[in-house]
Amino acid sequence: MPKIVVLDGYTTNPGDLSWEPLAALGELETYDRTPRADVLARSQGASILLSNKTFLHAEHIAQLPELQYIGVFATGYNVIDIDAAREHGVVVCNVPHYSTEAVAQHTMALLLRISNHVAPHSDAVHQGKWQRSKDFCFINHPMFELQGLTMGIIGYGSIGAATARCAQAFGMNILAYKRTPPKTSPAGVTFVDIEQIFRESDIISLHCPLTPATEKLVNAERIALMKENAILLNTSRGGLVDENALAHALREKRLYAAGVDVLSSEPPKADNPLIGLENCYITPHIAWAARETRQRLLNVVTDNVRAFLNGKPQNVVN
C-alpha cells in the first residue's frame, strides 16, 4: 500500500472529523503540524504527501525520490513549488470550490458586524447599560442600511459570485471586476474596470488570488480613489492589501471601516498595523472553517487521492 503522510492536518481536522476514509487508501501517518526542519524526515518513503500550509520547496521534492503526488488541503497551492514538482514528475492537486458558500457567508458576517454592531450592543445589554437606559431602546454604535449601497467585487469567481448573490438579497447594487469578464453578465451585475470599482463602490470585497500582479492591489493610490467612508472587506489573501496604507486610511477616518479574515503574515506579527484599530474588524482566517466546510474539504482530498491511485487524477494544477 502507498505511504500517505499528512504534514499539517490539525486545522482541517482538529479531532471532530475522521481520517478513516483516507487511511483506507494506504499506510497513513498524520501530523498536526510539521516544522520546516522536520519536513524531509517525516516525508521519507511517502509516495503521497498532503499539506495545508506546510511549504514543500524544490529542495524537499528533489530529495524525495518515491514521491509521486502532492495534495493540498486548500484551493490555493502557493505553498508547493509547482515547477519543481513538474520537473520531478510529481502530480499536484488542489480542492476548488469547497468553501464557496462559507466564505461568502463570512464576508457578509463581517459586513453586518460593521453595519449593525450586534456584538457590542449585546455586550452592552449584559453589562447593564440597557437596563439603565431611560428609553425603550439603547444605541451605542451607529447603524446603517445596506439596501441601495453599491458593492464592488474584485475577482468574480465562484466566491465572488456567491457574495454578489448575498449582497443582492440585501438590496445592494453590484459592480464587478474580472480579468476576463463573461460575454453575458449575470442579472444585476455590471462589469467595470478596477479603477471604477474603487471610485464608485460603497463597499469593496476582495475575492481574487494572490499573484505577483495582485500583490498590494489595494494600495495608497487606490485607497485615495475610494469614497469617503467606504468599507473594505478581504476574505481572500492578506497580501492583496498594503496594510500600512489601509491602517493610515482607517486611523485618519478616510475609510469608515475594514473587515478582514486574512493578513499578510499568519499568525500575524505583533506589530501588524491593523491590529488595535477600532474600525478594523479582524477574524483569524476562519471563513473556511465551519465543520461542514472542512468535511467537504477532507472528502475531496480523499477523492483526489483515490482518483490518482486509480490512474485518473483530478483537480490537477501542474
Which of the following is catalytic: 237, 243, 294, 296? Answer: 237
C-alpha cell, 210: 494572490
Residues 106, 117, 285, 294: which is the catalytic one?
A: 285
Please state, in angstroms and rounded to a whole number, the distance separating the CA atoms of residues 237 and 258. 14
Q: Quick one: how far is CA 202 from the chain centroid? A: 22
Residue among 59, 66, 266, 291 flagged as catalytic: 266
Burial 177-206 (b: 16+ CB within 10 A, else e): bbeeeeeeeeeebebeeeeebbbbbbbbbb
Residue 60, exposed/middle/buried by CB under 10 A (0-12, 13-18, 19+)? Answer: buried
**CB of 215 within 8 A of CB of 203?**
no
Residue type, 61: I
Q: Is 79 within 8 Å of 58 (Cβ atoms)?
A: no
266 given a catalytic annotation: yes
The answer to whether 285 is a known catalytic residue is: yes
Give catalytic residues, as residue numbers: 237, 266, 285
